[in-house]
A and B are shown apart, each in its own frame.
Chain A
Amino acid sequence: MNQVALIQRGLARRYRSEKRFKAYGLTAIVSGVTFLVFLLGTTFLNGYTALLQTYIAVDVTILDSDFDGGLSQESLSKSDYPGIIKRSLREAFPEVTKRKEKSELYRLISSGAQYDLREKVIDNPELVGQTTTFWLLADDEVDVYMKGRIDPAVPEKNRRLKNRSIAWIEQLRDQGRIERNFNILFFTNGDSREPEQAGILGAVMGSVFTILVTMLLAFPIGVAAAIYLQEFARKNRFTDLIEVNINNLAAVPSIIFGLLGLAIFLNFFHMPRSIPLVGGMVLALMTLPTIIISSRAALGAVPPSIREAALGVGASPVQTVLHHVLPLAMPGMLTGTIIGLAQALGETAPLLVIGMVAFIVDIPGSPMDPGTALPVQIYLWADSPERAFVERTSAAIMVLLLFLIAINGLIVLLRKKFERRW
C-alpha cells in the first residue's frame, strides 16, 4: 500500500473522531443551555406573579366617635383602625352575623391594611365623618386564590381558604371590588411574617452594604497582596508557603469562614451581631484568595518586555508596576473580582453563622444596622409554610440575579475601560 492510500485510510477515522468530538461539545452546550433555560423559566413562571398584589375595595366609614381626643395628631394615630376596617367589612357583608364567620370575613383583609388606613387619615383628617372607598391590601390567601393557585376542587379541609371566603371573593369580583395592582410593597418593604407585606428591600440593602464592604476590603487588599507576591517578593520558602496556603484557602468551605468570623469578629472583638459590616468582612476573607490568585495570574500574563521597557527608561520598580503592569493586568484582575464577588453575593452559610439570618423587619440604613442578605432572605422565605412565599422566593431569586447582572455589568464596563492591546 502506498503512502497516500495509507494516509487516506487514516483520514476517514480522523474526521470521524473530529465529528464525534464536536458532537460531545455541542451536546454539553445544549444540555447546559437547557438546564439554564429550565431553571430561569421555572423561576420566572413562579416569580412573576409576585409583581402583582390583590387589593379589595371597601367603603370605609370613619366616624367622629372613633377618635376620643378630637382630631389631634395623637388621637388620630392612636385610634382603633382594625376596628374601623372590621366595622366596614360587616357593613359590606351584612348577611354575616356568626362570630366564626365574622372572623373569617375579617381575614380577607391583611392585618397590614390598618397602617395604610391610619397613614391616609393622618395625612388627610377630613376623611373623618365620611364614607370613602379605600383599596385595602388583601390577605395572602386571597391573593393566592386570585392568582389561580388555589384549586376550589380540593376538599375544603385541605385548604386554608374556605368555601365561604371563596364565595365572598367571587362576590367582590362580580362587583369589581377586587383587583390586582403592581406590588410596590414588595420593593419598598422589609421582611414580614405576613407574605402580602413582605418586601425585598431590607435584603437588597443588606446585600448592597455587605457587598460594598466586601469589595472595598477584598479588592484593594487582594490586588496589593498579588502585586507584592508577584512583583516584589523574593522567591523563597516563606513565599512558597504563603502561596500554597492562599491556594488552599480558596478551597475552604465558606461556612468555615463564617465560623472564623464568629470567633474573631463577634466573640473576640465583640462586634454586633447580624450587621452587614461583619458579613462583608467575613465574605471579604472568603473572596480574598480568589482575587489574589486571579490577580497574580493577570500580572504574570503581562509580557516581561513591558517591564523591561519601563525599567530600561529608568522607571523605578513601583513606577513600572503602577504605570505599566497594573493597567495591563487590570482587566484580568477585575475578572477575578467578578468571580469572587459573585460568589460572595450568593453566599448564605457564613452569613447564617454570624447572625444575618435573624428576622429583621427594618431596612438597614448603614452597614452598622442589623440586616439580612438576598440569599439568606431566599432561604428564609423558601423555608416559610405560607403558599404566597413561594412566588416571593422566586421573585427574590430574580432580584438576586438582577443584582448579580448589575455588578457584573459594572465590572465589565470597568474592564472595557482598562482593556488595551499591546
Chain B
Amino acid sequence: MNQTALEFSKPTERNISDDPLNDPNYKTVGEVTVPNAAMTTKNVDVHYGDKQAIFNVSLDVGRNEVLAMIGPSGCGKSTFIRCLNRMNDTIDICRIKGDIRLDGEDIYSRNMDVVLLRARVGMVFQKPNPFPKSVYDNVAYGVNLHGLSNNKSELDDIVEDALKRAGLWDEVSDRLNQPGTGLSGGQQQRLCIARAIAISPEIILMDEPCSALDPIATAKIEELIDELSQRYSICIVTHSMQQAARVSQRTAYFHLGKLIEVGATDIIFTNPSHRLTEGYITGRFG
C-alpha cells in the first residue's frame, strides 16, 4: 500500500532499521515500557490461520494513562487491542503467542479466568452496541452478572453513577426504562462506556469509539476520555490523528502488524523519529 513511503528517507543518527517491514528483528523506536505499568505485553505475535497479523509487538499500558494506537487500516492495532482482554478467543483461527500481563498476571495462563479478565479490562467497540434492553438494564447487566450490588438501591446508585460519569445521566435520567437502542449514536456509545465503567474495570479498551459518530458526539466522548483517565487506564485505537493528539499522553504507531514507534504524544506528532511515522502523521499515506 505504501511503496512510496519507503522511497523517501530521513537522515537519522539513531539506529533505525531502514526496512522494518521486511526485517524480522525490527525493534520498535522509542521506549515501549513504562514504570509500574497496568498492563505489559512482550513479543506478541498473532496469526489468523496462516496469515500473521501482529509481529513481535511489545508495549506497556501505564496507569491512568491514555495510550493511543494509530496506523493505517489493516495495521493490526485493533487485533492488538483485542488481545488485551482476549476478545480474539472468539475467533477460531486466531492464535496468539507472547506474554501479556495484567498487574503481573499472565492473562493467557490457565489460571486466568477470562470472565474475570474481561471484568477487569472493559471494552468499548467501534460500532455502538447497546443490548436491546432498557437503558437501565444495559448498565445494570454487567453489575448483576458479577454480583457487584447487594440490593436494588445499591444497583440504582451504581447505574446512576456510571451514567453520570459517562456524561449521559442528564440526557437519559427520565427514560431509563426505554430501550437503549432508541438513543442517538453518540448517546449509545456513551451508554456503552457507562456499561463498561459500571463494573469498575482497571483498564478500558476503546476500539475506534468515535468512528461512527458526528463531530459533536465525538467531542463529548473525547471530553469523557479525559475525565475517565483520572481513574482508569485507557487504550484507544483511532483513525483520527487529531483525536490521538487531543486525548492521549502516549501514542503508538503501528504499520503492517509491526509497532514502529512509541513515544509521548506531543513528540510523536511534532518530531517523529521514524520516517514511516512521519509519513503517516504528515498525511503522505494512511
Contacts and interface: CB of A to CB of B under 8 A. Distances in A.
B142 A314 contact: yes
A305 B129 contact: yes
Given A307-B90, A319-B145, A422 B132 contact: yes
Contact of B131 (A306, A316, A319): A306
A309 B130 contact: yes
B195 A313 contact: yes
B186 interface: no
A135 to B, nearest CB: 61
B38 interface: no
A416 to B, nearest CB: 15
Given A234-B92, A312-B125, A313-B122, A324 B87 contact: no
Interface string B187-218: 00000100110010000000000000000000
Contacts of A312: 85, 87, 118, 122-125, 196
Interface string B98-126: 00000000000000000111110011110
Contact of B118 (A313, A323, A422): A313
Interface string A297-324: 0000001011111111111100100011
B228 to A, nearest CB: 16
B181 interface: yes
A397 interface: no
A421 B122 CA distance: 25
Nearest to A320: B90
A328 B132 contact: yes
Per DSSP, chain A at the interface is helix
A309 B137 CA distance: 13
B185 interface: no
Given A305-B125, A305-B127, A422-B132, A315 B90 contact: no
Contacts of B125: 305, 308-309, 312
B131 A324 contact: yes
Contacts of A307: 90
B181 to A, nearest CB: 5
A235 interface: yes
Given A309-B192, A422-B181, A314 B130 contact: no
Given A306-B129, A308-B129, A313 B87 contact: no
A314 B129 contact: no
Contacts of B118: 311-314
A311 B145 contact: no
Contacts of A324: 131
Contact of A311 (B87, B92, B116, B199): B87
Contacts of A323: 141
Nearest to A319: B145
A420 B119 CA distance: 27
28 contacts: A235-B92, A305-B127, A306-B131, A308-B87, A308-B125, A309-B125, A309-B131, A309-B192, A310-B131, A310-B141, A311-B90, A312-B124, A312-B196, A313-B119, A313-B141, A313-B142, A313-B195, A313-B196, A314-B115, A314-B146, A314-B199, A315-B142, A324-B131, A328-B132, A421-B132, A421-B179, A421-B181, A422-B131
Interface of A: 234-235, 303, 305-316, 319, 323-324, 328, 420-422
